[in-house]
A and B are shown apart, each in its own frame.
Chain A
Amino acid sequence: MKEKPDTLEQAVLTEYKYGFVTDIDTDVIAKGLSENTIRLISNKKNEPEWMLDWRLKAYNHWLKLEEPKWSNVKYPIINYQDIIYYAAPKPKKQLNSLDEADPELLATFEKLGISLNEQKRLTGVAVDVVMDSVSIATSFKEQLSEIGVIFCSISEAIQLHPELVKKYLGSVVPMTDNYFAALNSAVFTDGSFCYIPKGVRCPMELSTYFRINTENAGQFERTLIIAEDESYVSYLEGCTAPMRDENQLHAAVVELVAHTKAEIKYSTVQNWYPGDKNGLGGIYNFVTKRGMCKGDHSKISWTQVETGSAITWKYPSVILKGDHSIGEFYSVAFTNNHQQADTGTKMIHLGKNTRSRIVSKGISAGHSQNSYRGLVRASKQATNARNYSQCDSLLLGDKCGAHTFPYIEVKNKTAIVEHEATTSKIGEDQLFYCKQRGIDAETAVALIVNGFAKEVMNQLPMEFAVEAQKLLAISMEGSVG
């Protein structure tokens, strides 16, 4: 048989377009983890005693745990003594104009359609040049504090709002929850804190974008969002713009608390270094994200677009405690080359008449492995619990894998749980049809993938969605035969 040129394979054989640099000046401490390391971190952050105690307790628990082995990912053994646990980034080198920025980075910005001012902010052009962006950020901050919304770094919150942090930190993801959550609890460096008071509808999307004073949260990020009764907030994590990061291990924890009739919408675009074509390097992303629908009629919605990282281990979950509460999970996970993703969600129905919806779209290319892992549990008390899950996989080429692991535990007879799954493949026939219409393979694959992921993309805030769509296309770029 004649060797056919495999256009699909070539279309997806692509390299990370964002480069990978490690020349940021940082204030670092020595490698390794011990009680002293934790005291040092706490001390550097000038934390109160209770915070240090909390961290130490987490550390001592972590020592008793073993790294989980159940996920469908393979990676070399991590030496936790070979990691630097505190690296406060020094202020970025300020540039005078965009001409001084990395042209490769600028080219990517161009492709993503990021505005000039935003480009300046992201590359660290001196802020006084970026008048618009700063004044917007400042006026947003003023507007937020007027209505009582607290939006700051978690370090700031520990200093300024200790009563809130004490009350909620670890209330959704206990420090004992799992190996990586315990590790994070012991050594977390920074992250975001949001508090939406009763009855307030947050008038803008909150994102790390406007938290300009603490841009680099580091590898052990900790986020806590609290929505009081009848409040609403939409939070954006990450950025479609290039993330340059020198840390290989990331273990973040995100906790959401929604009180009665409150709604939290949490959107993520994750675009970290996935490693090279041969699977070398890349970020290990072990994240624990969980939301608690604490009050009746509350709602938590997770939306994620995951295109980066060598390994993704992530299950944004919702505990549906309040009666009539709603949990949602919308996910697009794209893996290429040798990336591995084991991601999904947990919907824990405790309250009566609780509803959850899961829409997961996995796209695998190259030699990558993409797994959906999800748990739907209806407890004894969860009368009339309702779940609908849909898990679709799209394969590009024949060397990648897609896996689905749905777990369903129902203890209440009135609960209704539905699960649908499909697997499809972009075929050479589809590509030929597109090419015959003048659409090259690369554009065709992007068109098909975006069509496949549309249902999830539609859940993203509008501007974010446009960028995320372009990001998907860029992730798939490569030479086409």
Chain B
Amino acid sequence: MLSVKNIHANIDGREILKGINLDIKPGEVHAIMGPNGSGKSTLASVLAGREEYEVTEGAVSFLGKDLLELSTEDRAREGLFLAFQYPVEIPGVSTTNFIKAAVNEKRKYLGQEPLDAVAFLKMMKEKMALVEIDQRLLSRSINEGFSGGEKKRNEVFQMAMLEPKLAIMDETDSGLDIDALRIVANGINKLRSPDRAILLITHYQRLLDYIQPDYVHVLYNGRIVKSGTKELALELEEKGYDFITDEVDLAANQ
């Protein structure tokens, strides 16, 4: 589904990603972990098509298409979803209207008729139950005055509505208390399916207690320095990042 080959990326002339390789198949859940500043969020931004980042080398194919050739909005319409670490507030635009616009833009791109009000409402109700989100939240301006937990839940709700092929969750666990974390994680688990891949980006292992990944990768200094199964996450939890980063630094100095 997603194949990342030797991606290098800069921001303001500074190289952040220094050759990333990653293969994700449908139905798989991958977790990318790493210390602060290792390039985790940059990877998410580059895949989603944030313009501040410049890809200098490498290739990405998504569902057989050259991802880097697609505009940000076309990547989304093809089925790439990014749950933001810091969801943006848009005053005056209700969450419902925003999601309706998003759903219908995607349908237009895929050559489908826009959803009518009744069908849209029905879909909303189904997905609301799935991710346990309050209807009152959806009539408010998007993310405006939402608590941290509400913002993240709203991201997962949008994911449910847009039914992506690949969902990238950028530190979705950050800033959540344990109850909120459980609800958000439950929502994500319900959205797991054999034809949907999920890429979890996280600093902490605790999210992985709720969402069991198939693979875990450790990102450090713009490279994936170690990959493994979910046991790797537990090892990291126990020993900290140092046991890997020291090894890498040592090798680099020799």
- Is A80 located at the chain interface by the 8 A CB criterion? no
B102 touches A437 (CB 8 A): yes
A429 touches B88 (CB 8 A): yes
A438 touches B93 (CB 8 A): no
Return the chain A residue nearest B109 by Cβ: A438
Considering only residues 1-25 of chain A, those with a C-beta below 8 Å from chain B are 1-2, 4-5, 7
Residue in A437, A443, A450, A451 whose CB lies within 8 Å of B76: A437
> B52, B84, B88, B92: which has the most chain A beta carbons within 10 Å?
B92
* Given A424-B91, A451-B92, CB of A439 within 8 Å of CB of B51: no
* Given A1-B13, A432-B72, A433-B88, CB of A447 within 8 Å of CB of B97: yes
Considering only residues 122-160 of chain B, those with a C-beta below 8 Å from chain A are 141, 158
Chain B residues whose C-beta falls within 8 Å of the C-beta of A45 in the assembled complex? none
B73 touches A439 (CB 8 A): yes
Chain B residues whose C-beta falls within 8 Å of the C-beta of A448 in the assembled complex? 90, 92-93
* Given A438-B76, A438-B102, A443-B101, CB of A1 within 8 Å of CB of B88: no
User: How many whole Å from B2's CB to the nearest CB in chain A?
Assistant: 16
Return the chain A residue nearest B106 by Cβ: A438
Chain B residues whose C-beta falls within 8 Å of the C-beta of A454 in the assembled complex? 92
- Is A36 located at the chain interface by the 8 A CB criterion? no
B73 touches A435 (CB 8 A): yes
Chain A residues whose C-beta falls within 8 Å of the C-beta of B71 in the assembled complex? 435, 440
* Given A2-B13, A451-B141, CB of A438 within 8 Å of CB of B105: yes
Considering only residues 447-468 of chain A, those with a C-beta below 8 Å from chain B are 447-448, 450-452, 454
Considering only residues 68-106 of chain B, those with a C-beta below 8 Å from chain A are 71-73, 75-77, 81-82, 84, 87-88, 90-94, 97-99, 101-102, 105-106
B52 touches A439 (CB 8 A): no
User: How many whole Å from B12's CB to the nearest CB in chain A?
Assistant: 6
Return the chain B residue nearest A454 by Cβ: B92
User: How many whole Å from B49's CB to the nearest CB in chain A?
Assistant: 8
Return the chain A residue nearest B92 by Cβ: A451
B73 touches A447 (CB 8 A): no
A437 touches B51 (CB 8 A): no
User: How many whole Å from A238's CB to the nearest CB in chain B?
Assistant: 24
Give A5 to B72 CA distance when docked, in angstroms.
13
A447 touches B72 (CB 8 A): no
A436 touches B48 (CB 8 A): yes
Give A440 to B84 CA distance when docked, in angstroms.
18
B72 touches A451 (CB 8 A): no
B51 touches A1 (CB 8 A): no
Give A433 to B143 CA distance when docked, in angstroms.
11
Give A450 to B48 CA distance when docked, in angstroms.
26
- Is A430 located at the chain interface by the 8 A CB criterion? yes
B82 touches A439 (CB 8 A): no
Return the chain B residue nearest A435 by Cβ: B72
Chain B residues whose C-beta falls within 8 Å of the C-beta of A440 in the assembled complex? 71, 73, 105
A436 touches B76 (CB 8 A): yes
User: How many whole Å from B23's CB to the nearest CB in chain A?
Assistant: 23
Give A438 to B101 CA distance when docked, in angstroms.
9
Chain A residues whose C-beta falls within 8 Å of the C-beta of B81 in the assembled complex? 436
B82 touches A436 (CB 8 A): yes
* Given A2-B12, A451-B91, A451-B92, CB of A439 within 8 Å of CB of B84: no
Residue in A429, A432, A447 whose CB lies within 8 Å of B101: A447
Give A447 to B98 CA distance when docked, in angstroms.
8
- Is B162 located at the chain interface by the 8 A CB criterion? yes
Chain A residues whose C-beta falls within 8 Å of the C-beta of B97 in the assembled complex? 447, 451
User: How many whole Å from B222's CB to the nearest CB in chain A?
Assistant: 18
Return the chain A residue nearest B48 by Cβ: A436
B13 touches A438 (CB 8 A): no
Chain B residues whose C-beta falls within 8 Å of the C-beta of A428 in the assembled complex? 51
Residue in A4, A443, A451 whose CB lies within 8 Å of B90: A451
Give A436 to B49 CA distance when docked, in angstroms.
8
- Is B50 located at the chain interface by the 8 A CB criterion? yes
Give A23 to B77 CA distance when docked, in angstroms.
46
Give A450 to B77 CA distance when docked, in angstroms.
23
- Is B54 located at the chain interface by the 8 A CB criterion? yes
* Given A1-B12, A2-B13, A4-B52, CB of A437 within 8 Å of CB of B90: no
Return the chain A residue nearest B75 by Cβ: A436
A438 touches B73 (CB 8 A): yes
Q: Give 1 or 0 for each of A117-157: 1 = CB within 8 Å of chain B CB.
A: 00000000000000000000000000000000000000000
Give A367 to B162 CA distance when docked, in angstroms.
37
Give A4 to B53 CA distance when docked, in angstroms.
9
* Given A2-B13, A443-B101, A447-B97, CB of A438 within 8 Å of CB of B162: yes
* Given A4-B51, A439-B105, A447-B101, CB of A433 within 8 Å of CB of B87: yes
A2 touches B73 (CB 8 A): no
Chain B residues whose C-beta falls within 8 Å of the C-beta of A447 in the assembled complex? 90, 93, 97-98, 101
Return the chain A residue nearest B103 by Cβ: A438
Give A447 to B101 CA distance when docked, in angstroms.
9
B51 touches A5 (CB 8 A): yes
User: How many whole Å from B98's CB to the nearest CB in chain A?
Assistant: 7
Return the chain A residue nearest B77 by Cβ: A438
* Given A448-B93, A451-B141, CB of A437 within 8 Å of CB of B48: no
20 sampled A-B residue pairs with Cβ under 8 A: A2-B12, A4-B52, A424-B91, A430-B88, A435-B49, A436-B72, A437-B101, A437-B158, A438-B77, A439-B98, A439-B102, A443-B101, A447-B98, A450-B92, A450-B93, A451-B92, A451-B94, A451-B97, A452-B91, A454-B92
Known: A4-B52, A437-B76, A440-B71. 18 other contacts (CB 8 A): A2-B54, A7-B51, A424-B91, A430-B88, A433-B87, A435-B71, A436-B73, A437-B162, A438-B73, A438-B76, A438-B105, A438-B109, A439-B101, A439-B105, A447-B90, A447-B93, A451-B92, A451-B94
| A-B CB proximity, top 8 nearest | A451-B92, A438-B76, A437-B102, A451-B93, A435-B72, A433-B88, A438-B77, A438-B105
